[in-house]
Amino acid sequence: MATIGRDLKQRKPFPTKEQEAAVTLLRTADVLRRHIGSVVGRRGITLQQYNVLRILRGAAPDGLPTLEIASRMIETAPGITRLLERLQKKKLVDRERNHDDKRCVVCRITPAGTALVAALDDPVRDATGEAFRSVNKHELAQLVGSLDRMRASLEKEEES
């Protein structure tokens, strides 16, 4: 069976199980990101762009302000405005200044954006299933629970 130490050609054991878990999680997240990214990349968009389109599809028809989209992203996107500009150039997103607050830009998914996300639903579901095929349902539930607790704890620390 593959281990993170063998994958990284590491000669010494990790100093702690926590460090081994962190490296394993980061490396696995990178592999998973590339795996799913290759599926959406075949349609000419990045994983972050796909994430924005999914968020906006869920907010249709009202759309969302730019900062609200940024707060819902899976990965923090410091260049959310540029990301939205690229999606607008591809005619997948429309952006419009709020009439009451000119600083606020509301973004909506276009019919082309909706069609693209719909076309990716099955391929992304298949890629995700493929990625987790060696993990049973009980293990998945445990993994999700553990990651939720870890993230909540770290986010709570960030707030204080």
What is the β-pairing status of strands 64-65 and 93-97? unpaired
For domain 44-126, give its CATH number from 2.160.10.10, 3.30.420.40, 1.10.10.10, 1.20.120.1200: 1.10.10.10
* Beta bridge partners of residue 106, listed in sequence order: 65, 96
DSSP E strand stretches across the chain: 64-65, 93-97, 105-109
Q: What is the pLDDT of residue 59?
A: 95
The per-residue pLDDT for 41 is 97
Section 114-139 average pLDDT: 97
For residues 104 and 62, which has the higher predicted lDDT (pLDDT)? 62
- pLDDT at residue 122 is higher than 80: yes
Residue type, 26: L
pLDDT at 82: 94
pLDDT at 160: 78
Q: Is the peptide bond before 15 cis (omega within 30 degrees of 0)?
A: no
pTM of the model: 0.88
Kindly tell me if the per-residue pLDDT of 16 is higher than 90.
Answer: yes
Higher pLDDT, 151 or 11: 151
Please say whether the beta carbons of 48 and 93 come within 8 A. Answer: no
Chain centroid, CA 97 distance in Å:
26
